Chains A and B, each alone.
Chain A
């Protein structure tokens, strides 16, 4: 293994694990019925939603080559499928991959 890649992996894992460990240590004194817990619950959901929106609208990696139109079409279509399938997670997930592959191929 080349040294630079191994160091980059170690640095990445350190940056990731520090947030996790700090969260685990901080939560020792927080009760699940407290206002602070409810506040962090809101922060967690909101941060995840922000991450998902950013992943779809401003992606990094291979998804950045897909057009805005194809990404928006896939998201709207999959949400539509999610609601008409009585909130089933599997159908929209599987369809999203097929639809994205087809759209990028033909658009």
Chain B
């Protein structure tokens, strides 16, 4: 089963002074308030955060519902926005694979793939014995997921007291936190080029296709950065 020591170590990692818990919680407070304003009940809001657990996807769903989009449209719009989770999973799970660990742990814990948990794991995996990285990851994921659910709950009930300026303040927290974390992660040529090219190409591709801009920006930027890094090594 799950190793309790490493699970708790992962769970407690969000209590670190530089953890994303604050930014994540504040953003889900904004999501909770937004969902209430859209007519969601508290059960639906919590259900949405528990099952989706991805900020951009939740926002796209909320916007799509607002304009009366069909279920197929919602599926495609969310899939386009959240397709980034595929390369995130592929670039994280090989670091945690161990032959002694059962497969169900990997399939179960892939639900925790989100920017906050991914960045925590990427910065801490070297300190954890490879055999127990998956247990540590489940701890990190449970902690960030719980933070998101609590944030949604608070946001739902605090929405009457949050004016538009405060909501904007809460909404900018997460991108700023992630931007700082990404800039902080630029320690190699490949990662540095990936981040810079992604930041530039994402908005540029938006003018060609808003739906495909994240995927195209990531694919083109990541491929160029990979080639730059490989040429540099050679």
Interface centre among A35, A41, A50, A53 (most CB of B within 10 A): A50
Interface majority SS on A: helix, strand, loop or mixed? Answer: helix
Interface majority SS on B: helix, strand, loop or mixed? Answer: helix
Which residue from chain B places its CB closest to the CB of A7 in the assembled complex?
B71
Interface centre among A27, A62, A78 (most CB of B within 10 A): A62
Q: Flag if A18 contacts B173 (CB, 8 Å).
A: no
Q: Flag if A61 contacts B82 (CB, 8 Å).
A: no
Q: Flag if A48 contacts B182 (CB, 8 Å).
A: yes
Contact with A along B113-127 (1 / 0, CB 8 A): 101001000000000
The distance in angstroms between the C-alpha atoms of A59 and B200, with both chains bound, is: 16
Q: Flag if A43 contacts B176 (CB, 8 Å).
A: no
A-binding segment of B5-13, B50-58, B144-152? B50-58
Report A6-57 residues with CB < 8 Å from chain B CB. 6-28, 30-32, 35, 37-57
Report A81-101 residues with CB < 8 Å from chain B CB. 82, 87-90, 92-94, 96-98, 100-101
What is the size, in residues, of chain A's interface with B at 8 Å between Cβ atoms? 81
- A69 interface hit (Cβ, 8 Å): no
Q: Known: A71-B172, A97-B172. Is A26-B90 also a contact (CB below 8 A)? A: yes
**Residue numbers in B under 8 Å from A22 (CB-CB):** 86, 89
- B168 interface hit (Cβ, 8 Å): yes
Q: Flag if A42 contacts B167 (CB, 8 Å).
A: no
What is the size, in residues, of chain B's interface with A at 8 Å between Cβ atoms? 109
Q: Flag if A8 contacts B65 (CB, 8 Å).
A: yes
**Residue numbers in A under 8 Å from B128 (CB-CB):** none
**Residue numbers in B under 8 Å from A98 (CB-CB):** 169
Report B162-200 residues with CB < 8 Å from chain A CB. 164-185, 190-191, 193-200
**Residue numbers in A under 8 Å from B40 (CB-CB):** 5
- B34 interface hit (Cβ, 8 Å): yes
Contact of B171 among A42, A50, A61 (CB under 8 A): A61
Report B196-231 residues with CB < 8 Å from chain A CB. 196-203, 205-206, 210, 213-215, 217-219, 221-223, 225-226, 229-230
11 sample A-B contacts, Cβ–Cβ < 8 Å, listed by A number:
A12-B51, A21-B110, A23-B88, A24-B107, A38-B230, A46-B197, A48-B182, A52-B178, A94-B22, A100-B169, A101-B166
- What residues of chain A have their CB less than 8 Å away from a CB belonging to chain B? 1-2, 4-28, 30-32, 35, 37-63, 65-66, 71, 74-75, 78-79, 82, 87-90, 92-94, 96-98, 100-102, 104-105
